[in-house]
Structure 1
Amino acid sequence: MVAISMIWFFTKRMPRIFALAFNLISIFLLIFLLIGCYNPSNQSTFLVKYKFDDNSPFYTIIEKSYEKSNTTLGLEEVIIRSGYMGVCIDNIPSQYSSYNNMTTFSNSICYARKNLSSVPLYRDLEIQLSNIASSSSKTQSSVVLNILKLAQLTSVNVIHPYVLMATVILTILMFLFILYVTVPKLPFKLAVNKFLLLLSSTIVLTWGIGAMWTHVGINASYRLVPSSSMNIITVKKGKKAAVMAWFSFAFLLLDSVVLWLIFLRDRKSLKDEIDNVPCAQNRYNNYSSDSSTLHSKV
């Protein structure tokens, strides 16, 4: 009997359980997307990957620029990944740690997105391509390229994490509210259900803008950086991050649709119950009148 009651309980609340499942999947996707490139273990979830193009005619100039000092030898092979919360530098030369007095060496290292200008690699990766004489004066100005600065600009100025952070917080709140209305015999369920409709629609709109912003930022870097760097730097789009962004949006949209369908179903059931009340009352009145007529005849 208990098993039947449990089956009936879950069957009756299956739409809300689906909403909880969609919401939970969205939370995990959004959190993993947010912490991408925050540490080396999560650097596979990157938005954009930068590296020097070894087929570029300028590649030999870059090699010679890094060969001028033992501290920068081999840095032309580094791979830099930009994420929402940080920037990861991979394929760092093994001798770099010894020349920079690093106590521990790792082939990969990640930094917070706003703390890059103070690290030694930021200065060491800066290369001077050529000196160009100014037409207005006899002084020469150098053309400087910093691949790590490009990655920092992507994370700080192009793709911001704030919309994603707000979406994560709101999605967690929505999960708690859905859990609240799923538990039976709790007060204020009607008000919470109405609030859930507003909250779910807001989240879908917010992360819809965020996902499109991410898509545009990734593609802008992919198209602009190689051309603006004279094809010295190649750019690869983070397909995993893009898929996670759009899949999380899809699950949030499904969540909102399920909540709206539940609300409309409940409204229809309530309307049917209200419509049936006068009918029952009329039948009762008819029976009462028939009974009184019968008694009068008797």
Structure 2
Amino acid sequence: MFVLSKSIILLTIILQFISTVLLAFLLLGCIDSSSNYSNVYLINYKFNSSSSLYQHLTLNSNSTTTLSDISVKIGYLGVCLSIDNDLKCTTYKTLDSIPSYTLTFLSNQFNLLNIAQIFKDIVHPHLLMSSIILTLLCLLILCYILLPLPGRLVVNKFGLLVSFLNMMLWGLGAMLQVQSCKSATKLLQESSFGLVMSSNGSRAEIMTWVAFSFISVVFLCMVLSNWIDFRTKRVANGGKV
């Protein structure tokens, strides 16, 4: 029983560490032009050159850039602007560091990055940040349980509670993230009458659900570990709890 419990805890630590890394990269997506960050985005949008309204859209810039060469990727904390394969990424707080490209559509002007700022108010990173904190806390608890330290049984029960809260919290966060991205994508395309094409980031969505799956497995492993401790204690007490 003791060896089995240790093996379960070790497996749980590995899964919890992977979950922490996935959630951290999900949070930091689009804050840097490196492919490790820029390819982790929630929404990617660009202009649809086949739209009948495309001819009424002009870029107020002296460059030779065409609208079809511009795309914007949006993450939890950052934005990436791609122009002629030149990628520039920044956080929302330093959004002014990216050159402003103003568009004119039927005498109305708007900034290309205004859509990203609106999306920031739709998908908040608070649930993700909270889940990362709980994941790190659970990882520390698991490392404590693995070591021959006093109070292991009590800490194991506390770890079960933390893993349950983390599973429920990120389950809610994952559903809200996916639903918000799909709704924003649909709304963006319909409100622009097909002038803007948008798509959800498949890598971010995969990372979201893989992290949730691992967090769920961690909770189940914690349940099994506590059950083994309960059985061991019961046998040691001669069948009495």
Q: Same fold (TM over 0.5)?
A: yes
Shift of 1:227: 0.5
Counting only pairs closer than 5 Å after superposition, residues 61-140 of structure 1 correspond to structure 2 as 61-62=56-57, 65-66=58-59, 69-71=61-63, 73-90=65-82, 92-93=83-84, 107-116=86-95, 118-119=96-97, 121-122=99-100, 124=101, 126-131=102-107
CA distance in 2, matches of 1:74, 1:128: 13
Which residue does 2:49 correspond to in 1?
Answer: 54
Larger relative contact order, structure 1 or 2 (CA cutoff 8 Å, min sep 6): 2
CA contact (8 A) 2:47 2:67 kept: no
Name the aligned partner's letter for residue 106 of structure 2.
S
Shift of 1:69: 4.0
Counting only pairs closer than 5 Å after superposition, residues 199-210 of structure 1 correspond to structure 2 as 199-210=162-173
Counting only pairs closer than 5 Å after superposition, residues 138-177 of structure 1 correspond to structure 2 as 143-154=108-119, 156-177=120-141
CA distance in 2, matches of 1:57, 1:237: 24
Alignment of 1:235 onto 2:198: yes
- The 3 A distance-change label for structure 1 pair 200 and 276 is closer
CA distance in 2, matches of 1:114, 1:236: 24
| Structure 1 runs (4+) greater than 4 angstroms displaced | 8-12
CA distance in 1, matches of 2:141, 2:232: 22
Identity %: 30
CA distance in 1, matches of 2:213, 2:206: 10
Q: TM-score, normalised by structure 2?
A: 0.91
Q: For 2:213, which of 250, 266, 273 is the aligned residue?
A: 250
CA distance in 2, matches of 1:19, 1:223: 38
Which residue does 2:16 correspond to in 1?
Answer: 23
Shift of 1:147: 3.5
Structure 1: tracts of 5 or more residues without a match: 1-7, 94-105, 132-142, 278-298
Secondary structure, aligned partner of 1:109: strand
Q: Which has the larger radius of gyration?
A: 1
Structure 2: tracts of 5 or more residues without a match: none
